[in-house]
Amino acid sequence: MRRIGFIGVGVMGKSMVRNLMKAGYQVKIYTRTRNKALDVIDEGAVWCEDIAQCVCDSEAVVTIVGYPNDVEEVYFGANGILENAPRGCYLIDMTTTSPKLSKRIYESARERGMHALDAPVSGGDTGARNGTLSIMVGGDREAFDKCYPIFQVLGSNIIYEGPAGYGQHTKMANQIAITGTIASVCEAICYGRKMGLNLQTMLDSISAGAAGSWQMTNNALKILREDFAPGFYIKHFIKDMMIAAEEAESMGLNLKILNSVLDMYRDLADNRSLGDLGTQALIKYYEDQAE
């Protein structure tokens, strides 16, 4: 496979398109706002006016959009992927979305002679830029094996999770784990600040031990620099946490840490209009509580 249609050229998608082109893939792109993709167009990506044009002759289609309703629109819309991609095409949705929706896409694709994979990612803008994303894939094993060369360009930890929807369920577990980690990092910083510690020295000391984590290594440093630019938007993390909470509740699980951190982020987004900041801006919630 060399021809890829790519839908959703945002913070992460743009770097993923670049990596695919560097690896020799011919990439056609579609995104709602052309001006935001001018740089990758100048670098060789072929702009398409609509989804149908983007996917009509693609051997694989990659999507990474914002919300479940966006996924539904690009796949099931009258001008969408399922109505316009050719038989035999591999459909790879890398959006974090509902496992139930991923299963629906899988079944609809199979009816049309296509192969659908749910392949959400973790690693943020840094992982997308460096091609080191963790990719969690659900769907048929044969389709996973066929698309593995594409995944290798985009990530370094690529794991087949099981049937359709299992990639999304694994991503839910990932997001649940992050909630406690980012909140704990913020609490450690608040504690260190209150006690008069040199925060950089503190982080250097604890990040190399049992407290070490991706959040500690990356987002903690952004917090110290007061860099709240989005590697991953608060508004998108809220979406992920809401899906996880709904899936957990449907199985009778009460995940208290997840629900608590979800409430914190909702407060930042709803009451302070901070949904377009990065997830490290959770520190602002704690700073407010300390005042």
Active site residues: 171
Q: How far apart are CA 43 and CA 30, in angstroms?
A: 15
Reported in sequence order, the residue ranges of 25-145 that DSSP labels E, i.e. its strands, are 26-30, 46-47, 60-63, 90-93, 115-118, 121-122, 133-138
**Could you tell me which residues are beta bridge partners of residue 155?**
133
Question: Residue-wise over 7-39: b if at least 16 C-beta within 10 A, else e?
Answer: bbbbbbbbbbbbbbbeeebebbbbbeeeeebee
Dihedral (CA of 16, 101, 278, 221) sign: negative
Task: Determine the 3-state secondary structure of 220 from DSSP.
Answer: helix
Length in residues, the chain = 291
